Structures are given as C-alpha cells and as structure tokens.
Structure 1
Amino acid sequence: ANYKMAFLLMLCDQEEVAIDYMNKAIAKDPKVDTNPELHQYIGFWYAKQGMNEEARREIERAIELAKLQGNNELAEELKNYL
C-alpha cells in the first residue's frame, strides 16, 4: 500500500512525502519495487532540487526496472537523462 501511495503522492506534487512512503515500502518488502515511472518522477524531482547523485541513482533504477519489464523504449528514453 505504501508503494502505491508513493506513486499517487508523486502525481499530486507531494514528492518529499512520496519518497518517504516509497522508502518505507521497499524497506518492508523489496519485491514491491516494480514501477519504473515512480523512480523516473523521483529522479526528475531530485534533479530539480540539484541533487544530482540521487537523481542519477533513481534514473538508473528506473532504467533497470523498465528493462526487466521489457519496456526497452522507456529504458532508452531515460538514458538521455544520465
């Protein structure tokens, strides 16, 4: 539930709260970490904050998840942000 809440919070421009929910969800059960778009949005938010290392980490995770899901188009698109 925390992971889905994190995605919804990102869509509502509640990034800091979303990141907290995402981290709690992954800490509780790493298998819930399946949404490349969530990592993409968080990566973009980190980049806007000037937090480049965190942004890169999130975009790399988004690429990894996209590839695992066979979404090579998204993975290739995200490489442009590294």
Structure 2
Amino acid sequence: MKKNYKCINSFTLKMIAIITMVIDHVGAVLFPMNMIFRYIGRISFPLFVFLLVEGSIYTSKIRKYELRMFLFALIS
C-alpha cells in the first residue's frame, strides 16, 4: 500500500518566509507595541538561512552562487 505524503518544497518555504517577514514589518510600523507581529516575523530568518544553505549545497558552481548572493546583498 503506497502512502501519499505531501512535502513542503522550497517555493512554499519562501512564501512562508516572505509572508511572515511582511507581517513583522507591518507590525513594526503600524503596531509597535504589539509584539505578536514581531514574534511571527522571527520565523522568516531561519527559513531564509535554511534556503540559503540548501542552495549552496545543491549548486554546482559555489563561487558563482556566492557572487550572486553577494551582489543581491549589495543591492538590498
């Protein structure tokens, strides 16, 4: 009997991280005294770090990947 497992892919993780980061930023600007928005937003950083490490593990050209990440950091 085959079991159907639904996995979370990298796109889903990115969307969760983006949504929680937006919640964090909205809470910081509109509701600075309500910390629940800030707590929700703290989920985004570990997700982005996980995706960054996953990207570096599965790339074939690590230097090119690091250069892209560095240029994106400069633009940001």
Query: Which TM-score band (shorter chain)?
Result: 0.3 to 0.5
The structure showing larger relative contact order (alpha-carbon pairs under 8 Å, at least 6 residues apart) is 2
Whichever structure has more helix as a proportion of its residues is 1
Larger Rg: 2
